[in-house]
Amino acid sequence: MKVLAVNGSPRKNGNTATMLREILSGAAEKGAKTRLVHLNDLTMKGCQGCLTCREKPGECAHKDDFQGLLEEMKNCDAIALGTPIYVFSVTGQFKCFLDRCYCFIDNSEEGTYRSVLPGGKKLALVTSQGNEDSQAYRHIIDYLLLLFSFLSGSSIEVITQSGTEDKDSARKDASLVERARAVGRSLAS
């Protein structure tokens, strides 16, 4: 059992990273091998629109660090995806990643859309925001859930952290930490 976490925050020790690490700790408790990837460490452009993936679903023709992440996503059993809210949306790093995930969408048969991310993966979604209103960016979370539930074909555990004060807010919140560990255990079960 391999569990991958993808951090869309440029902060390696911020709230999103903390929640993802706790998810991975929970998964490790269940015996999973875990790995945390910080998108900000990767040399990765946004989608170049070459549309080669329309002919070869599941592959991306643009050769940069996304290639390694693509293979890790295919080969793991569960994925935890996390992003802070930046300017009413996801971070630029995370949007770049989402656009590259277009290669997992096969629409070669007219009018149909099929995920080619190898099946059976459990997914979790983590967001973090300064706004105290947990519903303020509900439309962003719904948009992410639409994409990720299409890709995974299963229901998705969601953690929305709101009202953060600084990068340590998550690690100071014992109930949030416990919730993240529980999500990790469930990803690895």
Ligand X SMILES: Cc1cc2nc3c(=O)[nH]c(=O)nc-3n(C[C@H](O)[C@H](O)[C@H](O)COP(=O)(O)O)c2cc1C
CB of 162 to ligand X, least distance (A): 7
184 counts as binding ligand X under rule CB under 6 A: no
Only segment of 34-42, 52-60, 86-94, 176-184 that touches ligand X (CB under 6 A) = 86-94
CB of 125 to ligand X, least distance (A): 14
Rounded to the nearest angstrom, the gap between the alpha carbon of residue 9 and the centroid of all alpha carbons in its chain is 11
88 counts as binding ligand X under rule CB under 6 A: yes
- Residue 95's Cβ-side half-sphere holds a number of Cα atoms within 13 Å equal to 9
121 counts as binding ligand X under rule CB under 6 A: no
Only segment of 7-15, 67-75, 93-101, 110-118 that touches ligand X (CB under 6 A) = 7-15
Helix (H) or strand (E) holding 83: strand 78-84
**Under 8 Å CB-to-CB from 189, ≥6 apart: which residues?**
30
Dihedral, 10, 12, 14, 17 alpha carbons, nearest 10: 100
SS (H, E, C) 2-54: EEEEEECCCCCCCHHHHHHHHHHHHHHHCCCEEEEEEHHHCCCCCCCCCCHHH
Interface pick for ligand X out of 84, 90, 184, 187 (rule CB under 6 A): 84
Only segment of 32-40, 51-59, 127-135, 140-148 that touches ligand X (CB under 6 A) = 127-135
Amino acid, res. 48: Q
Residue 9 or 115: the one with the smaller Cβ distance to ligand X is 9
CB 18 within 8 A of CB 26: no
171 counts as binding ligand X under rule CB under 6 A: no
The residue at minimum Cβ distance from ligand X is: 14
CB 80 within 8 A of CB 3: yes
Residue 128 or 152: the one with the smaller Cβ distance to ligand X is 128
Residue 26 or 84: the one with the smaller Cβ distance to ligand X is 84
6 counts as binding ligand X under rule CB under 6 A: no
Q: Which parts of this chain interact with ligand X (CB under 6 A)? A: 9, 11, 14-16, 84-88, 128-131, 164, 167
